[in-house]
Structure 1
Amino acid sequence: MPTQKADIIAQLQRDILLLQGLRPTLNNAAVDVGLGPIREAFPDGVFPTGAVHEFISRAAEPAAATAGFISSLAGGLMQGGGVGVWISISRTIFPPALKSFGIAPEQIIFVDVHSDREALWVMEEALKCEGLAVVIGEIKEVSFTNSRRLQLAIEQSRVTGFIHRYQPRQLNTTTCVSRWEIMPVASEQEDLLPGVGFPRWQVALLRIRGGKPGTWQIEWSAGKFQPVDKRIPSLPQPIRKIG
């Protein structure tokens, strides 16, 4: 009986996710390569594609780390020659560096705009295009209504979207399937050789629809994610003295 109840609950959860627009696609497995323990946070252990993901950066260093992490995810989605669109007000991406994440610079169409309003419009239109593999928008402020329009745009195209919000005024509610915060972590040199090691990040999955948030450290090397350590447990809150 307990097993039957668990199966019923799991099926109900899958049905709810389908109603919310989360459907498995052929691109899911490509993004999951090397994500290791992070996959346990996703519904059914699969990275949600055909959805919009939200990333938050509060300073320049985390913003650069976030751009790298998003690029690594986009590289999986663009395997086989797919095309992506990258929308920004002030472009900071160095196109040749994308090769480190499995993306040829010519696979990305860069769209430079002047305001969040223009960026949102371009992203919405791009997400409607079934021929794209991924759409990335550097957009500071996204209202619930804006995010809802983006969600509606992908219901037919099943294109995956990433929103990178740098220093937003507030963390408002959106319809995005997840919310992430990426922090840079010091890399380790290989065999005591001079220079810098592979990129490392502390990945905080703050919210995931139908999944379990958590925090991990991962490294990007050999063309895939490598777990640095096990899941970092939540720190206990300090005890306040009364009186």
Structure 2
Amino acid sequence: MPASSSHLALSATDTVARLREAVVQTRILSIPSLPFGISSVDDRLASGGLDGGGLHEIAAGSASLNDDAAATLFLAGIAARFAAEADQTVCWAMTAFDLYAPGLEQVGIGPAKLLYAQGRKDVDVLAIAEDALRDGSLACVIAEVKSADMTATRRLQLAASDGQTPMLLYRRHRTRDRCPLSSPSSAMTRWRVSCVPSERLAWPGVGRPRWQVELVRQRNGDPFSLELEACDAKGRLAVPAPSRDRTAAPRRADARDGAINRAA
């Protein structure tokens, strides 16, 4: 008995969708990944780093300003390393321009490497990001949005693959303390970043900031969570050194030391 025309149409559509997904995966595998340079991170990532032609999502661990700043600097550090690797410019699209330029420069992404774009609504920002990705001349594209549905993230993933350009999507805003990463997405990786107390120093001062970096989801790999030291001037993270491996603070001489030496 011959199959109905509707059944054949559905089967053809499903086949085309699967073939297109296979092509995307092949392109992703052919684009070099950017490693973090930390074995405890890279060894747990399916591709040994961040896919250079994929969508990666970032969210703050909470609605606090501290976590928002940490998540912003985390993705800025990634963008800085992509820019240094390709010696190209980064496009940063948003609806409200509130970036702190000196802070971004401290993690390795100065004004000479940044191209800002502003849209009235999320849909405008997503359209800007998609066009920038398909252009293929940028080191990385960043977009800040309140929300992005499955269709939007699928379009960004396809555009990133077509343009062989990494896409960093910052899901910045929270609603009733609900994590933005709880909604479905086509992203290759999904990260959540929070502030944690820095190590107490042996001398007066402030230690290097620390973040709790969680890989909530990744394709073909498992999630994990690590405590890492914040980005340095080149956008690089670091594993906190155990206290016993730290250089001991020099002992400060005082009046009692002098008295002991004189007595000897």
Q: Is TM-score (shorter-chain normalized) higher than 0.5?
A: yes
Aligned to 2:13: none
**What RMSD in Å do the two structures reach over aligned CA positions?**
2.5
- What residue is the counterpart of 1:241 in the other structure? none
Post-superposition, which runs of at least 4 consecutive aligned residues in structure 1 deviate over 4 A?
none
SS at match of 2:203: coil
Give the conservation status (yes or no) of the 8 Å contact 2:106–2:232. Answer: no
What SS does the corresponding residue of 1:121 show, helix, strand or coil? helix
TM score, norm. by length of structure 2: 0.72
Describe the SS at the equivalent of 2:207. Answer: coil
Aligned to 2:99: 93
TM-score of the two chains, using structure 1 as the length reference: 0.78
Q: CA deviation at 1:75?
A: 1.1
Matches within 5 A, 1:94-243: 94-169=100-175, 171-188=182-199, 192-194=203-205, 196-219=206-229, 220-221=231-232, 223=234, 224-228=236-240
Q: Does the 8 Å CA contact 1:216/1:229 hold for their aligned counterparts?
A: no
Equivalent in the alignment of 1:35: 38
Cα displacement string for residues 193-227 of structure 1 (whole angstroms, at most 9, x for unaligned residues): 43x33232100000000112100011134642211
Give the Cα separation in 1 of the matches to 2:233 and 2:113.
21
Q: Residue type matched to 1:226 in 2?
A: A
Given candidates 46, 49, 60, the residue that maps to 1:46 is 49
Q: Deviation string for 1:1-36 (max 9, x for gaps)?
A: xxxxxxxxxxxxxxx79736522434x3xx424333
Q: C-alpha distance in 2, partners of 1:189/1:129? A: 47
Answer whether contact 2:57 2:169 (CA < 8 A) is retained. yes
Residue type of the alignment partner of 2:203: L
TM superposition shift of 1:91: 2.5
Total equivalences in the alignment? 212
1:217 counterpart letter in structure 2: E
**Partner SS for 1:85:** strand
Is 1:19 the counterpart of 2:25? The answer is yes
Query: Could you report, residue by residue, the CA deviation over 1:124-164 in whole angstroms, capped at 9, with x for unpaired residues?
Result: 11111211000000111101011111112122211001111
Aligned to 1:235: none
Report how far residue 49 of structure 1 moved: 1.9
Q: Residue 76 of structure 1: which of 72, 77, 81 is its match?
A: 81
One-letter code aligned to 2:240: V
Structure 2: gaps of 5 or more residues = 1-21, 243-264
1:41 Cα offset (Å): 2.0
Of all paired residues, the percent bearing the same amino acid is 26
47-56 or 132-141: which moved more? 47-56
Q: SS at 2:50's partner residue? A: coil
Q: Which has the larger radius of gyration?
A: 2
Query: Which region of structure 1 is more displaced relative to structure 2, 73-82 or 31-40?
Result: 31-40
- Measure, in 2, the Cα distance between the counterparts of 1:188 and 1:71: 23
CA–CA separation in structure 1 for the residues paired with 2:168 and 2:240:
24
Higher helix share: 2
Write the distance in 1 (CA, Å) between the matches of 2:233 and 2:129.
31
